[in-house]
Amino acid sequence: MEQINHGILVANAGSSSIKYHLFAPSGTTLLRAQYDRTSSGDTCTIEYGGRTNTTPSPKGVFSNTASDMSGLIARHYPGLSLASIGFRIVHGGFHLKETSWLTEEVMAMIDAASSLAPLHNPPCLDLIHAWQKHLPHLPMFGVFDTAFHATIPHFASTYALPSALEEETHIRKYGFHGIAYASVVRQLEELLGYLPERLIACHLGSGSSICAMYQGKSVDTSMGTTPLEGLIMATRTGDMDPGSILLLEEYLRTTYPEETEEETEAKLRHILSKESGLLGMAGTPDMREILAMEATSDRAALAVAAYTYRVRKYIGAYAAALGGIDGLIFSGGIGEGSDYLREKILSPLTFLGLAVDPEKNQNAEKRQSIGRASSHPIWVMGAEEDKEIFLEGLKLTGTQR
């Protein structure tokens, strides 16, 4: 039995949930915990020893999970000490392009990037500060969702703004879901013993994106400066003409003249980020509910058609950008969970050499392509983001598993 003296903790903070994953040095999962803030009260869900248990959290725990999580670890693993904590950070901005120790300088850069990810970076910064206060001498590192896309060439990342303005504002394509993409690339290489040269990965969930990869490196991706660009998502618009956003802003100013400029801007952000996408089209952000209504609801049918069309269009564009395709990966809750949508997305793409085997598609498993014998390989893989952050921590410290 593995003797465990210390562990690496992975933390992932959102506005209404904080997730923790405790790893042994070997990579074995020791404990998972998720703290959720809901309208009916806060809860904590613990996964330990093959069991899952959800209990109400006392008032104030969500704002101080560092102390509560330390207590959980001490109760379940007396004597275990933390070697480090790794944090998933959505936006590294222009400067942070690799896993980094969370020094004062790095923290300032993350804070500066908060304007590019106002819904994601601030909760993470709050959590880091809480842990630094709770365990000030513990090494802490950040893994950035944008870092994987640092290899995108400038001609693919530029928005063709005046060059001086681009240099001053750093407005360009950054891309997201990079930790997920790094994970599926690692898993595929472990599975095959090599990497197909030209890969397209579709990470489809409540937030969705696509990445074109050459020799395992990102060369383009559908999200941009912010996670709003690209595919239709649960509550986000995806691609929009910038002119139409200006028109929408003018409409809001005219319709609500009593609101301040800041209030109008906040309302516009909320519409684009929280009220659009599948929710805006079909009345629900849940693709499972939309699929259940597809046959009887025109709005649901439109949402499915628009969603799958957008994914298909990006696959075709990235196949062109790569000069062909040697394999395709589906990941994320929708990408892994819906054989129906995988087939609907790919059925018109036989001209690219992508054809789904119906039986394999319905019984998708990680180690087997769901493509027909004549097709390029098509894999369905879970994105092991926590594991990827853990492995990044080992690289940073030079530790071997």
Residues with Cβ within 8 Å of 231's Cβ and at least 6 positions away in sequence, in order, are: 204, 208, 209, 210, 222, 238, 239, 307, 310, 311, 314
Give yes or no for a contact between 339 and 346, defined as CB atoms under 8 angstroms apart. Answer: no
CB atoms within 10 A of CB 279: 18
SS3 1: coil
Element of type H or E holding 243: helix 242-255
CA–CA distance, 91 with 116 (Å, rounded to integer): 7
CA–CA distance, 25 with 58 (Å, rounded to integer): 32
Spell out the long-range contacts of 301-307 with Cβ–Cβ below 8 A and sequence spacing 24 or more. Answer: 303/232, 303/278, 304/341, 304/344, 306/232, 306/281, 307/231, 307/232, 307/278, 307/341
Give yes or no for a contact between 388 and 8, defined as CB atoms under 8 angstroms apart. Answer: no
Give yes or no for a contact between 68 and 9, defined as CB atoms under 8 angstroms apart. Answer: no
Residues with Cβ within 8 Å of 368's Cβ and at least 6 positions away in sequence, in order, are: 360
Which among 42, 111, 126, 145 is annotated as catalytic?
A: 145
Q: What values do phi and psi take at 169, rounded to 5?
A: -95, -20
Residue 156 tokens, joined: 């693919």
Give yes or no for a contact between 232 and 166, defined as CB atoms under 8 angstroms apart. Answer: no
Q: Which pairing describes strands 100-101 and 6-13: parallel, antiparallel, or unpaired?
A: unpaired
Tell me the three-class secondary structure of 263-321, residue by residue. HHHHHHHHHHHHCCHHHHHHCCCCHHHHHHHCCCCHHHHHHHHHHHHHHHHHHHHHHHH
Q: Which pairing describes strands 51-56 and 140-144: parallel, antiparallel, or unpaired?
A: unpaired
For the question of residue 339 being annotated catalytic, the response is no
- What is the sign, positive or negative, of the torsion defined by CA atoms of 12, 18, 22, 28? negative
CA–CA distance, 240 with 228 (Å, rounded to integer): 9
SS3 376: coil
Which candidate, 186, 240, 188, 239, places its Cα nearest to that of 209? 239
Active site residues: 145
